[in-house]
A and B are shown apart, each in its own frame.
Chain A
């Protein structure tokens, strides 16, 4: 499936959508498929500073717990409160209503991440097609 080309992607299957100094973060279609049915999402409180590559939160499916990593450094400004009652949004709308957190970020925060085409290629090389 094609990835939205308005955002950037990490090798750990998170996406980042930049708008001004704010980054919205979620997990990719591929990541949600791998997780299976999401039943619980644990996210950091607003105000928390996160470093690129560090643990951002946890997503739990019925079977297992998976860590989500911060694809960019920044400070948490908002979390997706809808996920408390509807964690399945991560499966249903990974690129929309299933977003996880918003971070205030410095300019160039997404440098080094992959664009949609590069992420597609990365998935293909990983054998994930």
Chain B
């Protein structure tokens, strides 16, 4: 049976106790929902939700040439990072497409902490090791088994987490982090997330994770905290139009096509994929990732064809009923001539063509 190969996070027992529905995801047995996706989604938008994201991979790059190496394999400019800052970036193929998208944290002058997608971790690690062979003075280490990760997300995330730490959380700006302690356990506390809300991602030792999880649920009770599963994580990130690797981006798509040109720093020096990206910037992209809403009745899903003028021109990469907005929305790649806001096209849903039109992204932006 395939299940015997699945890994469990340190919080698996907590999920079982909470009656979560467990599904296989990226090689792990993960909670997809506890009470219901919509309720968990709403709690994160209005109060606070707790996510087990311990399946995510953590890879450390250390050594004298750590910065040079990170610069070489990613498209964003890691030299702009100061201690305590994090950066969203892309791990690049020589073709300028995504091996993965990731967060790069600068822990020390010669130490970078990369957080990568669970499904890609082994691939990323092998890729990084192969690339590091050409670098003297760089060590790449897979630290994934040494960290559990708990995401505390929502307008009441700060208030909830603050009760368990002496670190002044309000001082941590977006995309920054500190090394401190939460509920007595050493932790990396980063103001990052994948929900479109304010919040924190907390990295702790696996042995400390269950106690911290329970402590957060207890202290967050008065704020209306709920544990939230992968289902809500997906609908939340979808409304905020944060790309999901394997759906919206992959090793056939470039940052420019995905609307992620802001993470490409062509003037930072040589890096993997730079020549292809320079060329693409010069020629202009032929297709773009767009957001769209269904104007006819139906829900677009990953893989459904997009048609314009009666012919297939692209594919839906993500789509669902957006809970906060109450509408069927989607994202997908279309030719640039079909990409302007308001452009009509059709989505083929079970052999029927249903009308849709391009809308601005993100679909949801929190009030600040």
Chain A residues engaging chain B, CB cutoff 8 angstroms: 36-37, 39-40, 42, 58, 60-63, 65
Contacts and interface: CB of A to CB of B under 8 A. Distances in A.
B299 A36 contact: no
Contacts of A42: 297-298, 350
Contacts of A37: 36-39
B320 A62 contact: yes
Contact of A40 (B32, B41, B299, B323): B299
Given A37-B36, A37-B38, A40-B299, A62 B350 contact: no
Given A36-B231, A39-B321, A40-B328, A61 B350 contact: no
A17 to B, nearest CB: 27
Interface of B: 32-33, 36-39, 41, 231, 234-235, 297-299, 301, 320-321, 323, 328, 350
Given A60-B321, A62-B320, A36 B328 contact: no
Given A40-B328, A62-B235, 4 more contacts: A36-B231, A39-B299, A62-B320, A63-B32
7 contacts: A36-B36, A37-B39, A39-B299, A40-B299, A40-B328, A60-B299, A62-B235
Contacts of A40: 297-299, 321, 328
A61 B328 contact: no
Given A36-B37, A39-B321, A62 B231 contact: yes
B328 A65 contact: no
Contact of B37 (A58, A60, A61): A61
Contacts of B39: 37
A36 B320 CA distance: 14
A61 B350 CA distance: 16
Grouping DSSP codes into helix (H, G, I), strand (E, B) and loop, the A interface class, with mixed when no group exceeds half, is strand
Contacts of A62: 37-38, 41, 231, 235, 320-321, 323
A104 B344 CA distance: 40
- 9 A-B pairs with least C-beta separation: A39-B321, A37-B38, A62-B37, A40-B299, A37-B36, A60-B299, A37-B37, A62-B320, A63-B231
Nearest to B350: A58
A62 B39 CA distance: 12
A14 to B, nearest CB: 19
Nearest to B32: A63
A60 B38 CA distance: 13
Contact of B301 (A36, A39, A65): A65
Contacts of A58: 350
A37 B32 CA distance: 12
Contacts of A65: 299, 301
A69 B299 CA distance: 20
A36 B321 contact: no
A36 B33 contact: yes
Nearest to B38: A37
A42 B328 CA distance: 14
Nearest to A84: B297
Contacts of B231: 36, 62-63
A30 B146 CA distance: 39
Nearest to A60: B299
Nearest to B234: A63
| B32, B41, B235, B320: most-surrounded residue (chain A CB, <10 A) | B320
A62 to B, nearest CB: 5
Contacts of B235: 62
Contacts of B36: 36-37
Contacts of B328: 40
B313 to A, nearest CB: 23
A36 B229 CA distance: 13
A16 to B, nearest CB: 24
A39 B32 CA distance: 17
A60 B328 CA distance: 11
Contacts of A39: 299, 320-321, 323
A37 B39 CA distance: 9
A65 B300 CA distance: 10
A60 B299 CA distance: 8
A65 B328 CA distance: 13
A37 B34 CA distance: 12
A37 B36 CA distance: 7
B270 to A, nearest CB: 42
B24 to A, nearest CB: 14
Contacts of A36: 33, 36-37, 231
Nearest to B41: A62
A107 B320 CA distance: 41
A65 B298 CA distance: 11
Contacts of B297: 40, 42
